[in-house]
Amino acid sequence: MVCSYAREPEKIIQSKTRIISIFNIDGKNIDKKVVSDFGNEWLKFNNFSDKSIKSAAEEYFDILDETIVNKSTYVLDIGCGTGRWTKYLASKAGFIEAIDPSNAIFAADKLLSNVENVRLSKASIDTLPFPDQTFDFAMSVGVLHHIPNTQQALIDCVKKVKKGGYFYVYLYYNLDRRRFLFKTLFLFVDFVRNIISRLPSKFKRFICDIIAVIVYLPLIWLARFLNFLHLKKLAHKIPLSAYKNKSFFIIRNDALDRFGTRLEQRFSKVEIEEMMKNSGLTDICVSTGVPYYHAIGRKV
């Protein structure tokens, strides 16, 4: 099932459990500062429990079933980060190629130390080291909105999928589901993000931890309280209500992810569907549940 690389790696690193192949990450469609920042983030936030992975994955992968991912499925995880989504799917898939352009690949090696049906490679979307039309299923979870040209990145990812195979993506939504007040609040938050994301790494992490405590937690507690009172519709309207069942570790991580990233793009449901079609996908299904938006399509 495992294919040979389309080209030789620049370097091989032997970890305690596996060989990690290192490829050139130069390319036109990459922001190396963003890559470096994510590498630092995931090296700090990588201690995900199996319980927290399962809880989050059930939200992200609600649109997958055994006809899409099963024991005969060859999977490509593009931008694997710490490898938590790889770990979740490893027990369901045949074999997974997990790639990331940052040093997060070494955090993934740690998280996946006991997982045998995974190969790790340090590479970017511009330099994916696999032949076209290789994979039954490929995914990119929360990555392509941090790339300069998201549409081109989608096209390059889908090239690696076999005809009749599937591609799954999660992209930030542009609040097309929200009302004016929520969108206005977002503009302020985005202004703050543009300032914080340019701070030195240690100071940036400190500020994001403060935001997690004084901004995230009060809103999340309010959503939890309303949910406890069975006012679920009202709770859903509270900003950050999606975190009501998440641990503080996840909240801290996502606060850093949200405010610590310099390059962030957002799309409407219609725009995501159009980009997927332009990439050669059909039978597109966009989940109606959080997180917004995660979608899957079949390669024509």
Residue 2: inside a domain: no
Q: What is the pLDDT of residue 178?
A: 87
Q: What is the pLDDT of residue 182?
A: 86
Band of residue 237 on the pLDDT scale cut at 50, 70, 90: confident
Q: At what angle are helices 248-259 and 180-196 packed, to 10 degrees?
A: 80
Tell me the per-residue pLDDT of 80-95, one tens digit each, with 9 for 90 and over: 999 999 999 999 999 9
Q: Give me the phi and psi of 255, to 5 degrees please.
A: -65, -40
Residue 3: inside a domain: no
Please answer whether residues 294 and 269 qualify as being in contact, where contact means their C-beta atoms are separated by less than 8 angstroms: no
Residue 69: inside a domain: yes
Residue 160: inside a domain: yes
Q: What is the CATH number of the domain that holds 53?
A: 3.40.50.150
**pTM attached to this predicted model:** 0.93
Are residues 186 and 169 part of one domain? no
Q: What is the pLDDT of residue 89?
A: 98
Residue 241: how many CB atoms within 10 A of its CB?
20
Domain limits at 139? 11-173+266-299
Q: Could you please report the per-residue DSSP string of 229-295?
A: TT-HHHHHTSTTGGGTT--HHHHHHHHHHHHS-S----B-HHHHHHHHHHTTEEEEEE-SSSSS-EE
Residue 62 has pLDDT above 90, yes or no: yes
Number of domains the chain is built from: 2
Q: What is the pLDDT of residue 44?
A: 85
Tell me the per-residue pLDDT of 244-256, one tens digit each, with 9 for 90 and over: 888 899 999 999 9
Tell me the per-residue pLDDT of 98-125, one tens digit each, with 9 for 90 and over: 999 999 999 999 999 999 999 999 999 9
Q: What is the pLDDT of residue 187?
A: 93
Residue 4: inside a domain: no
Residue 1: inside a domain: no
Task: Report helix, strand or coil for 14.
Answer: strand
Are residues 102 and 240 part of one domain? no
Tell me the per-residue pLDDT of 262-274, one tens digit each, with 9 for 90 and over: 999 999 999 999 9
Residue 154 has pLDDT above 80, yes or no: yes
Residue 26: inside a domain: yes
Are residues 217 and 104 part of one domain? no
Residue 199 has pLDDT above 80, yes or no: yes
Are residues 195 and 46 part of one domain? no
Residue 41: inside a domain: yes
Spell out the long-range contacts of 285-290 with Cβ–Cβ below 8 A and sequence spacing 24 or more. Answer: 285/63, 287/62, 287/63, 289/59, 289/62, 290/59, 290/242
Tell me the per-residue pLDDT of 124-150, one tens digit each, with 9 for 90 and over: 998 899 999 999 999 999 999 999 999
Q: What is the pLDDT of residue 177?
A: 87
Please answer whether residues 267 and 274 qualify as being in contact, where contact means their C-beta atoms are separated by less than 8 angstroms: no
